[in-house]
Amino acid sequence: MNEVIIYHNPRCSKSRQTLALLEENGIQPDIRKYLDDAPSADELKLVLKQLGISARELLRTKEPEFKEQGLDDTALSDEQIIKVMTEVPKLIERPIVIKGDKARIGRPPESVLDIL
């Protein structure tokens, strides 16, 4: 099974561009609207491992919820940050494309091509 998954927000232009890029390359990904279907802590840990980044690096720091949730506190652990991201999925950077054991953030959208 070699399916491609995209954590997608239809209201985000980068997310729409990344989805279009996948489709232009003949890929019909499994679309996960993560705002409606938030990933679990275990799913996020796996995605972070696939991306090779820390939980803090996956945060959308310009969202008002970033400060509201106290995420500007640099003492927070990855576990604490992941917990907030499962509760407020809007804080997860998007889009994320996953294929096999690799993942990329579609910023810019073309960055996902190297895992396809």
CA distances from 16 to 22, 42, 54, 106 (A): 10, 26, 25, 10
- Residues 106, 57 contacting (CB under 8 angstroms): no
| 12 belongs to the catalytic site | yes
Backbone dihedral angles phi then psi of residue 103, each to the nearest 5 degrees: -145, 155
Q: Is 97 helix (H, G, I), strand (E, B) or coil?
A: strand
Q: Which helix (H) or strand (E) holds 67?
A: helix 64-68
Q: Which of 3, 5, 10, 12 is catalytic?
A: 12
Q: Which residues are catalytic?
A: 12
